[in-house]
Amino acid sequence: MHSTALSKIIHERHADRPMYLLLLTYFTLVFTLSVVILYIYDVRPLFYYAVMATLGLVILLQILYVEPTGMRPIAILAQIMAFSLNLIWGVTLNYDLFIGRTDTMPHIWWAQNLLQVGHVTDFLNVYEPFPLWYILCNSVYLLGGLTGSIAQVMFVNSGLIYSILATFCIYLLTRKISGDKRIALLAALFLSFNTTFVFYGMYSIPRSIVMVLFILLVVLLIDHEDKKKRWLAYGLTLPIVVYHTVSSLFLICILMLIYAIQKLFIRTKKDPIVTLRFLAVLVGVTACYWALNATNIIWTLTNSLTQSSAGAEGLQTGSIYETPLSEVVNYSQYSVWILFILAGVLLILRYKHVDIKLKILALAALILIPLSYPGPLMLLNTLSSTVSIGRFEEYAFMFMTVIAAAGFGMLYRKKSSVVHGLLVLAFVLMVFLSISNDFVASDNPLVERPFYTYYLNDSEITGMEHIASLAEGSVMSDYIAVRYLEKSPYMEHQHILEANVITKKLMKENTTDLILIRDGELEKRPVKLYSSDNGYVRAAPWNALEYYYAGDAVFASLGERNSVYSSGTMTGYD
């Protein structure tokens, strides 16, 4: 009897082994194909996104149809991590210099300066009290005896932190509050292709790291009764505050929201996620550190709020009005995400047996949707510009991912092949749209937006530095070139290129100034310039720039000027 029962158990455990091995083989083949594509093509083709969506499907099938026993969850997690690294390093290590939304350039400059000087000084500007990211990257660079660019170290570090640490933490968090390995693996998979997650894994700036530290913090807070984890959570507040200037403010707001939700659901003090004491510690650490070591951030925030609010009126409708179809396509992945999030919230709140902590996070995700995803609130200048409301998504995507994965997993439990087929189809569509939009795939998006390419070529960098070295006056160029020169040895020569909207000509202040046109970029994308209807503006504000296309009349005036430099990707004019 005993022998028969044991044989039955062993048979059940190994019944899905052929399928598991087959899916592992498929994963290996498809992953290899994706790497070959990255190696062969200078720019990722649209076919690459289809291959990656297929790779995500292979992982999904393992999660759904293979029993998560023994080492299988670890093996699936390893595949998810490889999938994530492919998406992140496939950009940051594939192109010459990934710049993201341009913040990468000053952070690379500061890391380079720290490497040369050897200690933190005021060259870090507002980040002088927040140097941990640069110290970490410099430590890896020096301990590894590396000789290449510090930028590559930043990109490698960020990719590893996101793909390994964040993936593992989201798995632990979801497994703890759901008690289900499949849903935990689904959460890790959903995280790997989340647009915000992929972008900030590429971005490699201090704010990127705080986003992962926040996931780790919530993992520790979930086990409130574990004293070691509780003290680790208290200890983690300091690096969170020191890693980035203002991230702690957003985390405080989100944790206060969770605390408020708790008061509605938890009638006793037993095992809360966020306690009033922890909130007091986080607020206290932030206030004390700012007061003792970062008073400049207080003045910076005050000036930013007053200056932004002065001009922050009305609605932000430019790109929506000018290119509505491209905006719809590039935001379309959010519709699938929100569908799964809403399903997750409804199903989680419906069942009594679900852990109360999962219900709390579900309500938090629901409330954070309008603050995180494009909608009416994002159109308000006062909220978008002054309060930076869009940054809530950078810290809330963790909750969105967990609840969307739970929604998908709960829906899939329904015994209907039609439902299963629709869910798998929606999943593949979500993956494809999440990784091919212009926010994370500006190298070759499914549909372009009026925006700049998120990377610079070596030829562009060489050209900008060469022209700047020749200039006796200013180098007048578009926003991206100016941002690059601003944090370089040629920072004194940079000035935004100005276009006279009346005369339809490009302007410069002195005869010694040079005009730099990035021809290669202009062939593909518009470039950002300053528009003036009142002649040359010496201190042209960067928050009033407009996009100009290659066919616009202002560029016709270049025919009247002499070319002093030409590289094929850019041209310099006197």
Residue 318 has pLDDT above 70, yes or no: no
* Amino acid identity for residue 392 in this structure: F
Report the percentage of the chain scoring pLDDT > 70: 90
| Region 15-32 average pLDDT | 92
Do 407 and 271 share a structural domain?
yes
Helix, strand, coil share of the chain (percent; to 5): 70, 5, 25
User: How high is the pLDDT of residue 125?
Assistant: 85
User: How high is the pLDDT of residue 312?
Assistant: 43
**Phi, psi (deg, nearest 5) at residue 149:** -80, 140
Residue 87 has pLDDT above 80, yes or no: yes
Q: How confident is the model at residue 392 (pLDDT cuts 50, 70, 90)?
A: confident
Is 413 among the domain residues? yes
Do 122 and 41 share a structural domain?
yes
Do 397 and 318 share a structural domain?
yes
Residue 135 has pLDDT above 60, yes or no: yes
| Region 250-265 average pLDDT | 92
Domain extent for 513: 457-573
Residue finishing a domain among 375, 402, 436: 436
Residue finishing a domain among 402, 436, 470: 436
Is 331 among the domain residues? yes
By the 10 Å C-beta count (0-12 exposed, 13-18 middle, 19+ buried), 299 is classed as: exposed
Is 532 among the domain residues? yes
Is 452 among the domain residues? no
CA distance 483 to 491: 9
The three-point CA angle 12-16-18 to 5° equals 135
Which of 6-15, 20-29, 257-266, 459-468 shows the lowest per-residue confidence on average (mean pLDDT)?
6-15
| Region 110-130 average pLDDT | 90
| Region 19-28 average pLDDT | 94
Q: Which token pair is 567?
A: 């590289």
User: How high is the pLDDT of residue 13?
Assistant: 53
User: How high is the pLDDT of residue 295?
Assistant: 82
Q: How confident is the model at residue 38 (pLDDT cuts 50, 70, 90)?
A: very high
Rg (CA), the chain: 26
Q: Which token pair is 80?
A: 């998810």
Helix (H, G, I), strand (E, B) or coil at 564: strand
Do 466 and 352 share a structural domain?
no
Is 522 among the domain residues? yes
Do 280 and 392 share a structural domain?
yes
Per mean pLDDT, which of 404-408, 488-492, 512-516 is the most reliable?
A: 404-408
CA distance 318 to 362: 33
By the 10 Å C-beta count (0-12 exposed, 13-18 middle, 19+ buried), 280 is classed as: exposed
pLDDT digits (tens, 9 = 90+) for 205-231: 999 999 999 999 999 999 878 889 999
Is 276 among the domain residues? yes
Residue finishing a domain among 436, 469, 484: 436
CA distance 34 to 235: 41
User: How high is the pLDDT of residue 323?
Assistant: 65
Which of 381-385, 467-471, 509-513 shows the lowest per-residue confidence on average (mean pLDDT)?
381-385
Do 192 and 107 share a structural domain?
yes
Domain tally for the chain? 2
Do 221 and 162 share a structural domain?
yes
**Phi, psi (deg, nearest 5) at residue 474:** -90, 155
DSSP code at position 545: E
Q: Which token pair is 506?
A: 């490009």
Q: How confident is the model at residue 367 (pLDDT cuts 50, 70, 90)?
A: very high
| Region 414-436 average pLDDT | 94
Which of 79-93, 182-196, 258-272 shows the lowest per-residue confidence on average (mean pLDDT)?
258-272
Do 282 and 245 share a structural domain?
yes
Tally Cβ neighbours within 10 Å of residue 441: 25
Q: Which of 544, 546, 513 is nearest to 528 (CA)?
A: 546
Do 408 and 326 share a structural domain?
yes
Q: How confident is the model at residue 314 (pLDDT cuts 50, 70, 90)?
A: very low
| Region 508-526 average pLDDT | 89
Do 218 and 181 share a structural domain?
yes
Do 10 and 75 share a structural domain?
yes
Is 511 among the domain residues? yes
Residue 384 has pLDDT above 80, yes or no: no
CA distance 163 to 155: 12
User: How high is the pLDDT of residue 543?
Assistant: 72
Residue 277 has pLDDT above 50, yes or no: yes
Q: How confident is the model at residue 361 (pLDDT cuts 50, 70, 90)?
A: very high
Q: Which token pair is 154?
A: 């930043």
CA distance 39 to 33: 10
Do 421 and 464 share a structural domain?
no
